Amino acid sequence: MTLEYWVSAEKWYHLWAPLLLDSIFLLILIAVFSVYKRYTKIGKSLFVFSLLIVSGMALVTVINNRKFQAYLEPVRHVTPLIRQMQYKPFTGYEPLTRQTIEAYTRYHDVEGIKATGLYQEEWVSEPVRFLGKKQRHFYFEKDGIEFKQYEASVVFDPEAKETAAIGTTYHLVNPDFETIGFSDTPYVFYDHLVIAEKDYKKEYEPGDEYLVPTLEEILRTWTF
């Protein structure tokens, strides 16, 4: 999707379409009023004129709604996580408030970002060392810090080159979208932990398992 198409669609749905609908409603009221004056020359002219204009506006509305239909699905998934500006009728693009942006800073919305069709996915790997497993938690070490992760997001791959936390980050396919507030994702989105070692089932006894932090507490530049 091009920037020009997106901007045109945005202006259509937020500015021109509402104006046209309001105008159509007003003209319908005029046409209804002119019915009572249908026996006068002015009344007939006003009635016919109103119907012609309403028909033309309705046709334009239908045509543009079809033209910009491809915009409706992607825009549903746009949040302040990836866009820090919004379009306002008559004033153009304005920045969102800091509070709104901060509220979405760590919003984990991988599927939503993909659904916009505006981003390219990049896989990221953060190496860690596998220590072992206790019950339903796996224990790892990174930079001398021990941490744990629940088994649901841990996988074993004997062909993996290293044990690592795996995540994704997203970059705008078209950098021109930055001019209307879009940006690359600021954090890495956690996907899973992969264990490359053959001793996947080895046991481990942490000093105090309740005090051991999770990966989320260790990787502060990632979202979970």
pLDDT tens digits for 6-21? Answer: 999 999 999 999 998 8
Does the pLDDT of residue 40 top 70, yes or no?
no
Q: How many CA atoms lie within 13 A of 167 on its CB side?
A: 21
Give me the mean pLDDT over the 45-69 stretch: 84
Q: Which has the closest alpha carbon to 116: 71, 84, 86, 85?
A: 71
pLDDT at 37 over 70: no
Distance CA 64, CA 20 (A): 11
Whether residue 207 contacts residue 145, with contact meaning beta carbons closer than 8 Å, is answered with no
